Structure 1
Amino acid sequence: MKIPEVNYIPLWLNIIKIANDPLNHLDAIAKQYGDIFIIKFGSTPIVFLSNPQAIKQIFTNTKEINSPGELNEEMALITGNQGLLQLDGLRHKHRRKLIMPAFHGIKMQAQGKLICDLTKKVMDQHLGRKTFIAYPTIEEITLQVSMEVVLGLREGERYEKLKHLLPNILKSMRSPIMQITSIFPFLQRDLGRWSPWGYLMHLRQEIFQLLYAEVQERRQQADTSRTDILSELIFARDEMGELMTDEEVRDLLLSPLFAAQDASGVAITWLLYWVHHLPQVREQLLQELASLGDSPDPMSIAQLPYLSAVCNEALRIYPTQLFTFPRRVESPTELMGYALSPGTLLMGCIYLTHQRQDLYSQPKQFQPERFLEKQYSPYEFFPFGGGARTCIGAALAVFEMKLLLATILSNYQLTLVKKQPEQPKFEGLMCYPASGVKMRISAKTPRPSAETSAPLCV
């Protein structure tokens, strides 16, 4: 039985190409090798997959293909040793189940007005400046939402410190020097706060201490009326029926806190870009929003079909993460006619699946209508990964995308400063807009017309 072909480009060159021109590099590899290929990272070969049948197998065949937390060990730097990404089996399943309700159903719906109000508050601050960079602005909104949903924090000294530290640690990890240290571990030396690795360790320690103090304080207060994730976890029982330690609770907060902030911020920034890059998309959205009348509730907005299709297309064409979390073959298995031996590492390539001509005609074109004409399976469209390692904040991210866009379109007039197409930039796990998307802003002047919607969510 055959084995997948190996991409023999040196590791350092692969990393440089992915960092500087990720999508064209992946397109070129797929053109040469097809649905399945191997890239060697040092002595470790990783099999990359883009065929939906193969994606389904790695998401669902948990007997022969597993997703152990040890493969995400590098992420423990910011998610803790006992975070969701590091846990396995029953512990992972049980603790994920404890957190999930906050990102779904009634609890998420309750955040709708908060999202709209925060959007207006932050966007109003930019009206006097005329131009702004979309990514840090949107990240400011999603950060405040994540701190409310995960920690229940809106104000106070600890809130202000975390509001400053959380974006800074992500910015530090995305810096070129930190990307280099991930390739050459011997550079990971703490030489004090003025050294790159030392500064990262300082930020980590500050965040971990603040969250630990918040957990301790909230456990002493024991307020059962609060509905944020932290308040739920301090009363929750683990898989053995015991209360979790303060350290366990702290680590469980980190993944959803970063996911709700970073992944959401990137996705919404791309969404703003596409909607204002293609005027016809913007106009159709405005017409659909106007059909709801004055001040519709957030859930009515979230159910709009064209708005949903636009959000899905933004996530398809430039998914915030290019790859799934890694899987490992635990016993000999066959995948797409290829023999895979135990220990083989597998990664689904989200971007390449989303670019398949047999699934998406003209895949380089932004065409929201495709999501109105066809319902794609979770192995054909999976912007937040899949299986046991699906991003826990996926539902909240999409909810935020819809409400932020609706609020912005209804209250502000935005235009792109750059006429040239925005270029993607791959850093860490995320695919960011390289320039951050610079935009002009002015307040929208209401017009007495049936085609113009009143401000939403106010």
Structure 2
Amino acid sequence: MATVAPPVIELVGEASPSPAGPVDATEPLRPAPAVTLPRYAQLLRFNQRQIEFVFRARRELGEVFTMRSILDEPITVTSHPDHVRSLFTAKPELVPSLTAESPLRPIVGANSVLTANGPRHLRQRKLLLPSFHGESIARYTEMIEAATHREIDRWEVGETLQLAPRMQAITLDVIMSGIFGVDGKPAPGTPEHRLRETVKFLAKASTSFVAQFGEVLNAGQEEARGLLRRGVKALDDATYPIIEARRRAADLDERTDIMSLLMRATDEDGELLTDKELRDELLTLVLAGFETTANSLSWTWERLLRAPDAYDLLRDAVRSGERADEVVEATITEGMRARPVIPMIGRRVTVPWRLGDYVVPAGSPVSMSILLVHHREDLYPEPFAFRPERWLGHKPGTYEWIPFGGGTRRCLGAALAMAEQRVVLRTMVERLDLEADRPEPEHAQHRNVTMIPSRGARAVIRARR
């Protein structure tokens, strides 16, 4: 085991102030400079190589620029933390989320906490929040550890494997247990097992070129079209039988899983959620809850295995027990900084909005590039280096480290996602010695609104403990 000198703690810096926020309607509008490529060339490059695309745009145009996207209108992109602050802290009615218009809407529907805006979103968020915090997270810990050991037990020394689907197997079991109250893997023949296998199949299929073309075809649509419609039908065919069976369950009033909680909840008029509303909420929680966490873990390993000093620091800390919790946390934080699974989030401003030197009109879509914020040299010295030590003794800034979004739209499952990553990463480091299958880094592949390792975060198992 390598011996690593204690790292020097390097505090995150500060960006120069930049004015941001709503302005009076009489304020002169000033659009940001635009990427000049034809729209479909922009769409293709953004979809295939978002990292290169946005970094080039910032280098040539500045920290605020305009580009064409799957929306029918130009979208303004910013990467300044002051602009992020203005959008995260604004009243929700001034900056509704663009997820209501995202490629996810045809899949998860319009009724979920992710795609809804306004009072419905706030109500659903308030209802679900207790299930993803405090004692609820503590109950998941043993389950996460057991799922991790089950998965690791299947791996052989010398085997080259894709970590992404292995991480998905763990996180899918955890999220389905929390949502549906199933212990471990659902039993074959049950509706829950059918849903689990359908989700796994569609997650794998979604990386194909045909699936990516389907995303463009379904841009701005409320209902799925083409092949995506078949995928949505498969999800529906697996989900509605679960809802039907649970409605008939004699112990519905005593169950504590999220599905049962939603079934007992009523709206402001005292009405229960319809089957369609339940379906949208459940699929959102399953799809968003397992894949983002799994791919965060995959990216952390992809980066870690190409940064020997960082890997040695983590391995020594975990196996010696000295500062283990702190170093595990720092490694996860750095992984999510370097490769945020959701690289961009957006709002639609309902009033004119200042972003530094520019003012966009009311009704404009504005996106915050998490990738660009996380790679600002004024915030993160050597931003392209994987350096977990930058977080030792330092907490992430609310508007400088934003992989979970922020404000009233901050990810509901953030606490669970962090808990899962802590347990899985620590357990893997305790039991395994891993090595990258090749020195070259994996490119980012874009799938719907997420960014995943192009080869599934391949690793070779060199030893077991």
What TM-score range do you get, normalising by the shorter chain? 0.7 to 0.9
Q: Kindly state the Cα deviation for residue 240 of structure 1 after the two structures are TM-superposed.
A: 3.1
2:108 is equivalent to residue 87 of structure 1: no
2:59 is equivalent to residue 31 of structure 1: yes
Q: Kindly state the Cα deviation for residue 178 of structure 1 after the two structures are TM-superposed.
A: 2.6
The partner residue of 2:328 within 287, 298, 307 is 307
Cα distance per residue 1:21-77 (max 9 Å; x no partner): 221221110011111111134750111011000011111122673215674353222
Instruction: State how far apart, in whole Å, the 2-side matches of 1:30 and 1:333 are.
Output: 20
Instruction: State how far apart, in whole Å, the 2-side matches of 1:401 and 1:146 are.
Output: 13
TM value normalised by structure 1: 0.87
2:186 corresponds in structure 1 to 155
The partner residue of 1:429 within 433, 449, 452 is 449
The partner residue of 1:175 within 201, 208, 211 is 208
2:154 is equivalent to residue 121 of structure 1: no
2:431 is equivalent to residue 411 of structure 1: yes
Instruction: State how far apart, in whole Å, the 2-side matches of 1:290 and 1:311 are.
Output: 17
- Preserved CA contact (<8 Å) 1:69 1:88: no
Equivalent positions of 1:371-386 (< 5 A) are 371-386=391-406
2:31 corresponds in structure 1 to 3
2:233 is equivalent to residue 213 of structure 1: no
2:294 is equivalent to residue 269 of structure 1: no
Equivalent positions of 1:27-106 (< 5 A) are 27-41=55-69, 43-62=72-91, 65-68=94-97, 71-72=100-101, 74-106=103-135
- Preserved CA contact (<8 Å) 2:32 2:64: yes
Instruction: State how far apart, in whole Å, the 2-side matches of 1:255 and 1:63 are.
Output: 21
- Preserved CA contact (<8 Å) 2:215 2:448: no
Instruction: State how far apart, in whole Å, the 2-side matches of 1:238 and 1:292 are.
Output: 49
2:374 is equivalent to residue 354 of structure 1: yes
Instruction: State how far apart, in whole Å, the 1-side matches of 2:99 and 2:144 are.
Output: 35
- Structure 1 window deviating more from structure 2 (53-62 vs 423-432): it is 423-432
1:316 corresponds in structure 2 to 337
Instruction: State how far apart, in whole Å, the 1-side matches of 2:408 and 2:203 are.
Output: 24
Instruction: State how far apart, in whole Å, the 2-side matches of 1:62 and 1:102 are.
Output: 25
Instruction: State how far apart, in whole Å, the 2-side matches of 1:430 and 1:287 are.
Output: 32
Q: Kindly state the Cα deviation for residue 202 of structure 1 after the two structures are TM-superposed.
A: 2.6
Q: Kindly state the Cα deviation for residue 262 of structure 1 after the two structures are TM-superposed.
A: 0.9
The partner residue of 2:282 within 253, 257, 278 is 253
5+ residue gaps in structure 2? 1-27
- Preserved CA contact (<8 Å) 2:295 2:341: yes
Relative to structure 1, is the Cα distance of residues 253 and 380 closer, same or farther in structure 2, using a 3 angstrom cutoff?
Answer: same
Instruction: State how far apart, in whole Å, the 1-side matches of 2:91 and 2:382 are.
Output: 34
Q: Kindly state the Cα deviation for residue 20 of structure 1 after the two structures are TM-superposed.
A: 3.0
5+ residue gaps in structure 1? 191-195, 294-299, 446-458
- Preserved CA contact (<8 Å) 1:65 1:327: no
Instruction: State how far apart, in whole Å, the 1-side matches of 2:409 and 2:390 are.
Output: 27
Instruction: State how far apart, in whole Å, the 1-side matches of 2:293 and 2:240 are.
Output: 25
Relative to structure 1, is the Cα distance of residues 361 and 129 closer, same or farther in structure 2, using a 3 angstrom cutoff?
Answer: closer
- Preserved CA contact (<8 Å) 2:31 2:359: yes
Instruction: State how far apart, in whole Å, the 2-side matches of 1:139 and 1:220 are.
Output: 31
- Preserved CA contact (<8 Å) 1:319 1:431: yes
Relative to structure 1, is the Cα distance of residues 183 and 63 closer, same or farther in structure 2, using a 3 angstrom cutoff?
Answer: closer
> SS at the partner of 1:286?
helix
Instruction: State how far apart, in whole Å, the 2-side matches of 1:377 and 1:440 are.
Output: 35
Q: Kindly state the Cα deviation for residue 260 of structure 1 after the two structures are TM-superposed.
A: 1.5
Q: Kindly state the Cα deviation for residue 373 of structure 1 after the two structures are TM-superposed.
A: 4.7
- Preserved CA contact (<8 Å) 1:270 1:314: yes
Instruction: State how far apart, in whole Å, the 2-side matches of 1:369 and 1:411 are.
Output: 23
Q: Kindly state the Cα deviation for residue 249 of structure 1 after the two structures are TM-superposed.
A: 1.8
Cα distance per residue 1:138-189 (max 9 Å; x no partner): 1111111111112223423223211211122233343212322333459x9x
- In structure 2, give the amino acid aligned to 1:417: D
Instruction: State how far apart, in whole Å, the 2-side matches of 1:165 and 1:30 are.
Output: 40
Instruction: State how far apart, in whole Å, the 2-side matches of 1:269 and 1:70 are.
Output: 24
> SS at the partner of 2:34?
strand
- Preserved CA contact (<8 Å) 2:214 2:227: no
1:166 corresponds in structure 2 to 199
Aligned-residue identity in percent? 27
Instruction: State how far apart, in whole Å, the 1-side matches of 2:175 and 2:294 are.
Output: 11
1:13 corresponds in structure 2 to 41
2:223 is equivalent to residue 202 of structure 1: no
Equivalent positions of 1:390-405 (< 5 A) are 390-405=410-425
- In structure 2, give the amino acid aligned to 1:265: A
> How much is the aligned-residue C-alpha RMSD, in angstroms?
2.5
2:12 corresponds in structure 1 to none
Cα distance per residue 1:403-445 (max 9 Å; x no partner): 1011111112222211222222222211111111222225524
> SS at the partner of 1:361?
coil
Of Structure 1 and Structure 2, the greater helix share is in 1
- Preserved CA contact (<8 Å) 1:169 1:204: no
Instruction: State how far apart, in whole Å, the 1-side matches of 2:265 and 2:253 are.
Output: 11
Relative to structure 1, is the Cα distance of residues 43 and 285 closer, same or farther in structure 2, using a 3 angstrom cutoff?
Answer: closer
Q: Kindly state the Cα deviation for residue 16 of structure 1 after the two structures are TM-superposed.
A: 2.1
- In structure 2, give the amino acid aligned to 1:411: R
Instruction: State how far apart, in whole Å, the 2-side matches of 1:168 and 1:200 are.
Output: 13
Relative to structure 1, is the Cα distance of residues 127 and 348 closer, same or farther in structure 2, using a 3 angstrom cutoff?
Answer: same
The partner residue of 1:290 within 319, 333, 346 is 319
1:333 corresponds in structure 2 to 353
Q: How many residues align?
A: 429
Instruction: State how far apart, in whole Å, the 2-side matches of 1:63 and 1:184 are.
Output: 30
- Preserved CA contact (<8 Å) 1:69 1:85: no
- In structure 2, give the amino acid aligned to 1:353: V
Instruction: State how far apart, in whole Å, the 2-side matches of 1:63 and 1:116 are.
Output: 38
- Structure 1 window deviating more from structure 2 (168-177 vs 93-102): it is 168-177
